[in-house]
Amino acid sequence: MNEKGRTKVRRGVVVSDKMDKTVVVKVENLKLHRRYQKFIKTSKKFKAHDESNECRIGDTVEIFEVKPLSKDKCWMLKRIIDRSEEVAAEQEVKG
């Protein structure tokens, strides 16, 4: 359980940015199998609010949990950790 006032923070990769002010972030975790003692890679997708539409597909981002903003969007973009190579190349050409 989380202590009072502490929010959940997740780190993942943007897999879709087609919606307005919303991105889909895929978060991967390693989970240990009880019986076989092997690590299994699991993933889950979260919809996160991106107010300025600055995220692009392939960006590594950090999101945090907030109160529900819509039916299935209850996460918000905290920061962009790493830009994808394609987006970085486009920005160099423009400016």
51-79 pLDDT, tens digit each: 999 999 999 999 999 999 999 999 999 99
User: What is the Cα–Cα distance from 48 to 85, expressed in whole angstroms?
Assistant: 22
The model's confidence at residue 1, banded by pLDDT at 50, 70 and 90, is very low
Strands (E), the chain: 9-16, 22-32, 39-49, 60-65, 73-82
What pTM was estimated for this model as a whole? 0.82
**Is residue 55 classed as helix, strand or coil in its secondary structure?**
coil
6-56 pLDDT, tens digit per residue, is: 789 999 999 999 999 999 999 999 999 999 999 999 999 999 999 999 999
User: What is the Cα–Cα distance from 72 to 75, expressed in whole angstroms?
Assistant: 9
Does residue 68 lie in a domain region? yes
Boundaries of domain holding 35: 9-94
Does residue 47 lie in a domain region? yes
Does residue 71 lie in a domain region? yes
Does residue 4 lie in a domain region? no
Does residue 1 lie in a domain region? no
Does residue 3 lie in a domain region? no
Q: How many domains does the chain have?
A: 1
